[in-house]
A and B are shown apart, each in its own frame.
Chain A
Amino acid sequence: MIYFDNAATTLQKPDCVVRAVSEALCSLGNSARAAHGGALAASRTVFAAREAIAALLGCPRADHVVFTQNATEALNIALLGLFSPGDHVISTDLEHNSVLRPLYALQRCGVAVDFVSADKKGNVDYADFEALLRPETRAVVCTHASNLTGNALDLHRLGELTRAKDILLVVDASQTAGALPIHMTELGVDVLCFTGHKSLLGPQGTGGLCIRPGVEIRPLKTGGTGVQSHLPYQPEQYPTRLEAGTLNAHGIAGLLASVQWIREQGVEQIHAREIALARRFYAAVSAIDGLTVYGDWTNDARAPIVTLNLRDTPSSELADALFEDYGVATRSGAHCAPRMHRALGTTEQGAVRFSFGYFNNGDEVDAAVAALRELSRE
């Protein structure tokens, strides 16, 4: 199988990740629950992972890295825990349902939400963010890069705006953590939500939030923490405030290994390799008659994603032909990004997404291009 569905989850992981999870399954107790060897080993692993992620993503404090099951849970915690009726939030058409659905739920509760439109290329006009500001605007909530087109938003520019207006910048880094350099403090990001199993190369069931000190998020879940047990309410201090119940220390051990591996390789080097594969594919498929390729490729500050359609062929049919006849794994359909599809005009047809990862190679890219060339002649 040629695996080009890395934006959904990375299938190939560094060997050290597999070893770390296996060893963790044989050695870790429950973190934060006792002072015996097994529990302390889990607590040490979890804390080391907080430190590694803080260093990778530019979070000022390791204890402000909160672990969740995935980015969706992190985004729900952030959005439902930050905003209240009467608040106004600005988001974009680029968002995944993990941002959209919590925002729509908040709308039902009296939070006003406006969306900055995307054009046919999947780009936004940054002047629109400023135009949508109101006195009650609390935040800009946006993805770092679209999971459909790969187009990235300029967080530096948005950070300047949100800092100048004294509002929050909440970012969904699901497609970019580990794949694009991110320093949340330098960018002015207040809350950065990530998932572990995509470009961070860790196990599924891991993710989290990096929170700027001073940002107060109400807990979404309450329950056991292993500390302050006689307090009737969830403890106030991060990360415990947002972490109720047993953490996935086995998965976090794998995430620690993957983040260490990424830091050893260097995010810039990983990005260069992945974007080179994506550009090789983009250049080749752009020349094939009958293919429509989406997104903006004028610069490399983007996720390694190429999305396309073949004439009016339903995207599901093209994806199935690619896999059944050529062994090329892609993702068709709506990609949980309904507003982005509407902007591209692909709501009915969907689109076929090719997403590249560090463990792909040029031969695989060329094989997929050859498959599309053949299919385009049918």
Chain B
Amino acid sequence: MRQRQRRAVVTFHTTAEAMATEKLCKAKDLAGKLISAPRSLSADCGIAWSAPVELREALVRALEEAQIEFDGLYELTL
């Protein structure tokens, strides 16, 4: 089994927002990856951004600066 870790998870209204987030984080060297939106957060079938929890503040700052809208920001053990 994978080792579970505390993660900062961002959910989106659209896939375009998720794609923009991935590109932004790569450009800013912010670690993270796209995952299926966790069922505990949403009954949706969309995709979410999962980042190390310690990057939460940097992630929010980057999203706001880039004017990328998102649905919600959560901390989860995944």
Contact = CB atoms under 8 A, between A and B. Distances in A.
Interface string B43-55: 1111100000000
Contacts of B16: 47, 50, 62-63, 238-240
Interface residues of B, number: 20
Given A47-B20, A62-B20, A237-B69, A31 B44 contact: no
A229 interface: yes
A239 B15 CA distance: 9
B58 interface: no
Task: Tell me whether chain A's interface is mostly helix, strand or loop, or mixed.
Answer: loop
A228 B35 contact: no
- Tier of interface size on chain A: 20 to 34
Interface string B19-38: 11011000000000011100
A62 B36 CA distance: 23
Nearest to B35: A35
A230 B44 contact: yes
Interface in A45-66: 46-47, 50, 62-63
A121 B26 CA distance: 53
Q: Identify which of B13, B19, B35, B44 gathers the most chain A CB atoms within 10 Å of its CB.
A: B19
A227 B13 CA distance: 7
B43 A230 contact: yes
Interface of B: 12-20, 22-23, 34-36, 43-47, 69
Interface of A: 31-35, 40, 43-44, 46-47, 50, 62-63, 226-230, 235-240
